[in-house]
Amino acid sequence: MRLMFVHELIERQAARTPDAPAVAAAGGSLSYAELNANANRLARHFIAGGAGPESRVAVLLSPSVELVTALLAILKSGAAYVPIDPEYPRERVEYMVADSDSLMALDRMPEVTHYRDDNLTRAERRAVLHDRNAAYLIYTSGSTGRPKGVVVEHRSLSNHIQRTAARYPGVPGSSLIHSSIAFDLTVTPLYAQLCSGGQVWLGKLTDEAAARAPQSTLLKATPSHLEILAALPDHLSPTAALVLGGEPLSAPALDGWRAAHPDVAVYNSYGPTEATVNCCEFQLHAGTRTPVPFVPIGQPVGDARIYLLDDSLREVGAGEVGELYVAGPSLARGYWNRPGLTAERFPADPFGAPGQRMFRTGDLARRLPGGLLEFAGRVDQQVKFRGFRVELGEIESALRGQAGVAQAAAVVRRRGPDKIQLAGFVVATAGSTLDPVDLQRRIARWLPEHMVPSVTLLSSLPLSPNGKVDRAALARA
């Protein structure tokens, strides 16, 4: 049976419920019929401009009904979209557009009323669309100082959306998409809702559009959002399912919200961008106790396979910590224009059939009694901060690239059980005078807001006995 693409699932839903509300934001709303028709016109505009399978279109629109229209139109055209937050620093935006080799960068909606609004035929595309073609290319923080693009194919996106649409209660209802579209946390609620007859609202949790949003039935967020949700009007918290991911989830962070919403199912969702949003999950049923001190990341979902391996790629025993590898058809294609890095992070799967790959996540985990997986840290300098994947190496590279900086290091500092802070430490070159505030301002020209650390000047960086930077000492500073 042929896989149905996400845009085809939305077209089918538009035929079923043409007048039902599909998407809303501060600037207006669209029914399913309006969304589908507008996306068809825009898709024909993209095709006329050269878009098609394996080409890319960068999207730099603010949260709006036009943004959703553009994403759907690009999928319909057969091209892959490159979601870029327009609030990112200009240099970072320009780098992503250039690095992705995007055919065009959409920062405003073109005039497309002269195009037909019926669904596209296969013959209209510039080439046949296959399920192994790219659906989107999304950038994550890079340890080398430059973001890297992850290429996700249609088959992976469609499998993920159909699985989650069937799994989460509340999908046919309403969901508020409150994070940047450049963060793949938004993929699930956006497409699962639109493929199932639900309505999506776009707007930050604290803005005016969110205040006008209807009661959410499904919400996807990070654990850092729990404190914000507790202080906001109750209609912004979901009535059916809360899906959390992007950071370790602790019992103290969750228990307060669960006490106020005892009938809502909570899902602790784990997965790197390279495994198409998530590959492992733990469900807390209404009325059950929250595991302490941290909620497990659960068990593989769908057709994902999870291995915990040692340095020799041998499976570790029950209760032992190993590096987490993911295998299965939901893996991304790899990193855009990074064949060496792709080969390094997507090695052959020694436990699978010939030709199958796995992804080395860099996360550590252990298998608990009963088979549940528990997150146990990282093997490198990558951290999760506000739900975003952050490479401390990219922060250090940005600091070291500034005039007057001789040395730089970045760490995560804990300020309480559920409070973390990105901290940068620099040593000035001889004769230079550095201002921490000025340094923050300079690196903010490249790094997005969530990656700009506090900056502290030191006369020297502390070293461990082996001569390496003592990051534990910096984290305590």
Q: What is the pLDDT of residues 445-459, one digit of tens each?
A: 989 888 899 999 998
pLDDT of residue 476: 80
Tokens of 343: 């080969």
* Same-domain status, 205 and 78: yes
Is 275 a member of any domain? yes
On whether the CB atoms of residues 5 and 75 are closer than 8 A, the answer is yes
Is 441 a member of any domain? yes
On whether the CB atoms of residues 304 and 327 are closer than 8 A, the answer is yes
The domain spanning residue 396 has which CATH number? 3.30.300.30
* Same-domain status, 157 and 269: yes
* Same-domain status, 430 and 283: no
pLDDT of residue 144: 65
pLDDT at residue 128 tops 90: yes
Is 1 a member of any domain? no
Percent pLDDT > 90 in the chain is 70
- What is each CA distance from 367 to 269, 298, 323, 335, 370, in whole angstroms? 16, 9, 11, 29, 8
Q: ω before 293 within 30° of 0 (cis)?
A: yes
pLDDT of residue 472: 80
pLDDT digits (tens, 9 = 90+) for 318-344: 889 899 999 999 999 999 999 999 999
Range of the domain at 282: 6-299
> 245, 269, 299: which is the final residue of a domain?
299
Is 470 a member of any domain? yes
* Same-domain status, 276 and 398: no
Is 200 a member of any domain? yes
pLDDT at residue 142 tops 80: no
Q: How many CB atoms lie within 10 A of CB 122?
A: 9
* Same-domain status, 285 and 402: no
Provide φ and ψ at 19, rounded to 5°: -95, -5
Is 339 a member of any domain? no
* Same-domain status, 141 and 35: yes
pLDDT of residue 143: 63
The domain spanning residue 28 has which CATH number? 3.40.50.12780
* Same-domain status, 38 and 177: yes
CA distance 211 to 205: 8
pLDDT-derived band at 164 (thresholds 50, 70, 90) equals very high
> 258, 281, 299: which is the final residue of a domain?
299
Tokens of 111: 């005039």
pLDDT digits (tens, 9 = 90+) for 213-262: 889 999 999 887 888 888 888 889 999 999 999 888 888 889 889 999 99
On whether the CB atoms of residues 215 and 174 are closer than 8 A, the answer is yes
pLDDT of residue 468: 63
* Same-domain status, 294 and 387: no
Q: What is the DSSP string of 183-215?
A: SGGGHHHHHHHHTTT-EEEES-TTSHHHHHSPP
Half-sphere exposure (Cβ direction) of 187: Cα atoms closer than 13 Å: 31
* Same-domain status, 40 and 146: yes
* Same-domain status, 148 and 57: yes
pLDDT at residue 145 tops 80: no
Tokens of 137: 């290319």
Is 214 a member of any domain? yes
pLDDT digits (tens, 9 = 90+) for 375-390: 887 777 667 776 677 8
Is 371 a member of any domain? no
* Own/partner long-range contacts of 380-384 (Cβ < 8 Å, ≥24 apart): 380/143, 381/143, 381/410, 382/141, 382/143, 383/412, 383/420, 383/422, 384/246, 384/247, 384/248
pLDDT at residue 443 tops 80: yes
Instruction: Give the distance between the most distant pair of CA atoms in the chain.
Output: 71
Counting the structural domains of the chain, the total is: 2
* Same-domain status, 413 and 267: no
Secondary structure letter of residue 298 according to DSSP: B
* Same-domain status, 287 and 421: no
> 299, 327, 351: which is the final residue of a domain?
299
pLDDT of residue 345: 96
